Amino acid sequence: MSMGGEGDGVIRLEDGGVLHVAGALPGETVRLRAGPEGFVLDEVLEPSASRRTPPCPHFGACGGCVLQHWDAESALAWKVERLRATLALERLETEILPVFWTSPGGRRRAALHARRGSSRTEARIGFKARKSWNLVDIDGCAVLNPAIVRALPALRRLAAPLLEHPKSAPSLHVTMTDDGLDIDVTGVEARSGGLSADARQEVAALAAETGLARLTLAGDILFQQRQPSLKIGRARVALPAGAFLQADPAAEAAMVAEARSAVDGARRIADLFCGLGAFTFPLAEVAPVLAVDGSAPAIRALGAAVATAPGLHGITAEARDLFRRPLSAAELKRIDAVVFDPPRAGALAQVAEIAQSGAARVVGVSCNPATFARDARRLVDSGFRLERILPVDQFLWSSHLELVAVFSR
């Protein structure tokens, strides 16, 4: 048995077929039983030496974690080998540094789904079951910041008025900020008029009772008693509603440290897909930074925060869709170091311009090794050398792996 890409045990049959079995580990002997959607694990007859007792009672039902039953050393080795194999598909080889991995209780943001509960005043809240729309109602979570876990009972009450319309399927996008919990709600039925005035008043009162910093509905403020903010480098950044953040602050710090080290000595830096400035502000301690992102609210927040960050070399912020209108090689003429951190789709159009620019050093940050490898191939073909990769296991007990890669001419 081997391990599949989504964290399933893979059994190869004599006729050439394969079975994917959630919960099984390489080297184990297991008994299967037929379920409604195929064979499932019934019993582990001979367990692997790397099998561990899952720390969360919801493991197996909840779809949030798939690897809690596997020891960290084995899981990380498997992730690195998957990364190496993905690079090999694009004929890439490089030094892979030891994995930076996060600890339980470090996640500062999560999307919690809400469904109707047994009473009108309390909803069920949790994560979806694996490969299902069914909700697993949780009373704890081993990966979330303890402040979010402590808020779960209050969030059940808060979510109840959001289920006013039978077609509503709310998701509470919860972020732990320096000023308390910030929640943006999506999935409330809008075509029938959205939340009624009474429901808005009720949910706002519950938000005040819960002590939230802010509650928004698809970006519109329902309640706010404090402006949610975070310290990023030397800056204090006021968060737009629903703003993107790295999931774990320790992982973000490790990625920023690697990027900053790689561009040390640069005279001018471009930070592309910069978001709220997780890399921008630390990089501006090294040299002036051109910060560009497609989100206008994020760029406005970054620009406003510059005034709170003394002693930087200067930041120029621009809102621009880098997929449709990437910075050209000519626009990058004065840039000698580029950091880019695109979404999962990667940044092939922008990378093509970076490849033709005069930048001597490039740092690629990615949450998708497959699109990263494609983009990296383009840089290598244009004369860059892939020096090293730092793997970052930000999503603990998942099959995902993020990375920071350093290129030089």
Q: Is 293 annotated as a binding residue?
A: yes
Percentage of the residues of the chain whose pLDDT score is greater than 70: 100
Catalytic positions are 367
Beta-ladder partners of 289: 269, 315
Report the distance separating Cα 13 and Cα 105, nearest Å.
39
Report the distance separating Cα 406 and Cα 393, nearest Å.
18
Residue with tokens 């002693």: 311
pLDDT tens-digit map of 147-196: 999 999 999 999 999 999 989 999 999 999 999 999 999 999 988 788 99
Residue with tokens 């975070």: 230
pLDDT tens-digit map of 283-315: 999 999 999 999 999 999 999 999 999 999 999
Render the burial of 379-393: b for 16+ CB within 10 Å, e for the rest.
bbeeebebeebbbbb
pLDDT tens-digit map of 324-355: 999 999 999 999 999 999 999 999 999 999 99
pLDDT of residue 77: 96
Q: Is the pLDDT of residue 199 over 80?
A: yes
pLDDT tens-digit map of 41-69: 889 999 999 999 999 999 989 998 999 99
Report the distance separating Cα 31 and Cα 131, nearest Å.
22
H or E stretch at 207 = helix 197-210
Write down the H helix ranges in 26-114.
Answer: 72-89
pLDDT of residue 278: 98
pLDDT of residue 98: 97
Percentage of the residues of the chain whose pLDDT score is greater than 90: 87
Give the type of residue at 199.
A
Domains of the chain: 2-51 (no CATH), 78-103+247-408 (3.40.50.150), 109-229 (2.40.50.1070)
Longest dimension (CA), the chain: 67
Render the burial of 110-123: b for 16+ CB within 10 Å, e for the rest.
bebbbbebeeeeeb
> Do residues 280 and 302 make contact, with C-beta atoms less than 8 angstroms apart?
yes
Provide the CA 46 distance to its chain's centre, in angstroms: 35
Q: What is the mean pLDDT of residues 127-152?
A: 93
pTM: 0.93
Nearest to 149, CA basis, from 257, 57, 14:
57
Provide the pLDDT confidence category of residue 119 given band limits of 50, 70 and 90: confident
Paired sense of beta strands 361-366 and 235-238, if any = unpaired
Provide the pLDDT confidence category of residue 227 given band limits of 50, 70 and 90: very high
pLDDT tens-digit map of 363-399: 999 999 999 999 999 999 999 999 999 999 999 999 9
pLDDT of residue 16: 80
pLDDT of residue 12: 86
Q: Is 341 annotated as a binding residue?
A: yes
Q: Is the pLDDT of residue 37 over 80?
A: no
